[in-house]
Structures are given as structure tokens and as C-alpha cells.
Amino acid sequence: MAFLMKSMLSNQVKNLGLGGGGEESKEESAPSDPAAAAGMTREEYEEYQKQVVEEKMERDAAFAQKKAERACLRVHLREKYRLPKSELDENQIQMAGDDVGLPEDLQKMVAEDQVEEEDKDSILGQLQNIQNMDIDAIKEKAQATFTEMKQAAEQKCSVM
């Protein structure tokens, strides 16, 4: 509320005191040439503008490359986990050029994951999983399930 009152009063005071002529004097004092405003000659200013444009293009290209790498990673993960494909990711990869790949660190991680998955899928991997199982817990769970099923059947069937 105080902000609203302050802004309303300050606007009214500015309009009364200056009469609108102050803005014109500010515009007249500023030089019309941007090179002169920056304190450079026209050639220096043009060279500076070229450098700014080139740097911006380089940043944009690097940004597009990073976006494409991220999109490539998302595509890889979607393929790995059998998720639906995304048109946006495919478009980003195409815009950056089809030479986009996973960064080296991620390639190493993916290779390690594939080796681990292959080990788990092999017969030896399955045998190791059997050794790690808690047989007593599995027996108890099976017996509990069997007794629950037996009790449910006895309640539904008058013959048992």
C-alpha cells in the first residue's frame, strides 16, 4: 500500500515540476552515433560488433551441440528402457548435425552397464543370485501364502 501511494505521489510531483521538458533535453545531449557514445572510431566499433556477433554464433553453436548431446543421451536411455521415442530429441540431433554422439565419460558408463547386465543375464549370474537368496524367508512366505489360500478356500467351500 505504501509503495502504491509513493509511486502515485512521485509521478504527480514529477509531472508538476518538470512539465515534460526534461526528457527532450536528455535526448538532445546524447550523441546519435553509437560509436561516439562508446568512445571508439567507426571502424573500431564495426570490428567490435563483428567480434560480438562471431562470439554469439560460437556460443550458440556450442549450446546447440550440448543440447544435441543431451538429446542423444535421452534417446539412448529411451532405447535401453524401451520407452517411447521423442520427436523433439530427434529434431535437436538433426539440427546439430548427425555427427553427435555420447560424450566419452557417458560411453564408458554405458559400456560398464552393458557388461554388468550381460553378467546378470548369464547362467552364472543367475546361479549367483540363487546363492544370495534367503531360502528360509522364501519358505516362510510360501507357507504363509498357502495357509491364507487354504483358509480362504475353507470359508468359501462348505465341503472342505
Query: Is residue 97 located within the same domain as residue 135?
Result: no
Q: State the pLDDT at residue 57.
A: 96
Domain count, the chain: 2
Query: Is residue 87 located within the same domain as residue 53?
Result: yes
Query: Is residue 139 located within the same domain as residue 97?
Result: no
Q: Within a domain: residue 24?
A: no
Domain span including residue 111: 103-150
Per-residue pLDDT of the chain (160 residues; tens, 9 = 90+): 666 666 666 766 666 655 554 444 444 455 577 777 778 888 888 999 999 999 999 999 889 888 888 888 888 888 888 889 889 888 888 887 767 777 778 778 878 887 777 776 666 666 666 666 777 778 888 899 989 988 888 888 766 5
Q: Which of 62, 84, 102 is the last residue before a domain boundary?
A: 102
- Listing DSSP states for 26-44 in one string gives HHHHS-S-HHHHHT--HHH
Q: Within a domain: residue 136?
A: yes
Q: State the pLDDT at residue 114.
A: 78
Q: Within a domain: residue 58?
A: yes
Q: Within a domain: residue 11?
A: no
Q: State the pLDDT at residue 1.
A: 62
Q: Which of 95, 102, 99 is nearest to 76 (CA)?
A: 102
